[in-house]
Amino acid sequence: MEALILYLVLFFPGIYMGLVSPPLAGEALTIQFSLVWELNRIIIYTLPALALLWYIVLGKKNFSSLKPQKPRQQDVFSLGIGLFGLILIGIGISFVISLYSRHYGLPEHPKIEAPQGLAAWIVMVFACLSIGYLEESYFRYYLLTKLDNYNLPSKVILSTLLFAFGHIHDGPFGIINALLAGILLSVLFIRYRSLHGIALAHGFYNIFVYTMGLFIRFG
């Protein structure tokens, strides 16, 4: 029950903010990067949610073996494998979207615009890393530990389904992307018991998505 309540408290505001994200611009359906909107999200939502989650985690005895640790060799492995896997999943989903849009007349997935200016890039990097740590801290570090009494497939499926629902504002292809990414990140966490590695992989993948906007815009 605690895990479900915490999920509602932490992620329903994020889902709502995703639904009211910066508007699409132009015929190309491009999501413009908004410096003000991202700063508001970091200050009003991401950092308070992360602080609340870790306040709860640090007060629990059954998380004693998973207390925050300095970066370890396992973090490097999970970061490398996780980032590579997430990029492959993202490219694969983009290919499927392009294929279905071209041959079946489905609407194209909105393109994400890269930030403009140094300040916007700094805010984007911080936003991506902080949301990566928030989501991995809950869906992998907290939730998978809470579900230790479940068998491996059951807890991975439950964690992944909740993770995917949190990305409902990204549309059907975004949900599929989240499902595949959630499975990958859950397996990596269970294998390496590494928060830093998967959180950084998640954050760097988000940065990669924004960076690709440079090539979409100028290519």
pLDDT over threshold 90, residue 143: yes
Distances (CA, A) of 197 to 57, 133, 151, 152: 19, 10, 24, 20
C-alpha span between 139 and 127 (Å, rounded): 18
pLDDT for 47: 95
For the chain, give the secondary structure using H, E and C: CHHHHHHHHHHHHHHHHHHCCCCEECCCCEECCCHHHHHHHHHHHHHHHHHHHHHHHHCCHHHHHHCCCCCCHHHHHHHHHHHHHHHHHHHHHHHHHHHHHHHHCCCCCCEECCCCCHHHHHHHHHHHHHHHHHHHHHHHHHHHHHCCCCCHHHHHHHHHHHHHHCCHHHHHHHHHHHHHHHHHHHHHHHHHCCHHHHHHHHHHHHHHHHHHHHHHHHC
pLDDT over threshold 50, residue 21: yes
pLDDT over threshold 60, residue 20: no
pLDDT for 67: 54
Instruction: List CB contacts of 206: < 8 A, sequence separation 6 or more.
Output: 128, 131, 132
Instruction: Provide the percentage of residues in the chain whose pLDDT is more than 70.
Output: 80
Q: At what angle do helices 171-192 and 73-104 cross, to 10 degrees?
A: 160
Average pLDDT of the chain, as a whole number: 83
Whether the Cβ atoms of residue 144 and residue 16 lie closer than 8 Å to each other: no
pLDDT over threshold 90, residue 3: no
Tell me the mean pLDDT in the region 71-92.
91
Which two structure tokens, joined as six digits, stand for 124?
Answer: 């984007």
pLDDT over threshold 80, residue 18: no
pLDDT for 79: 95
State the pLDDT confidence band at 33, using cuts at 50, 70 and 90: confident
pLDDT for 28: 47
Whether the Cβ atoms of residue 202 and residue 135 lie closer than 8 Å to each other: yes
Which has more pLDDT, 19 or 114?
114
Whether the Cβ atoms of residue 116 and residue 38 lie closer than 8 Å to each other: no
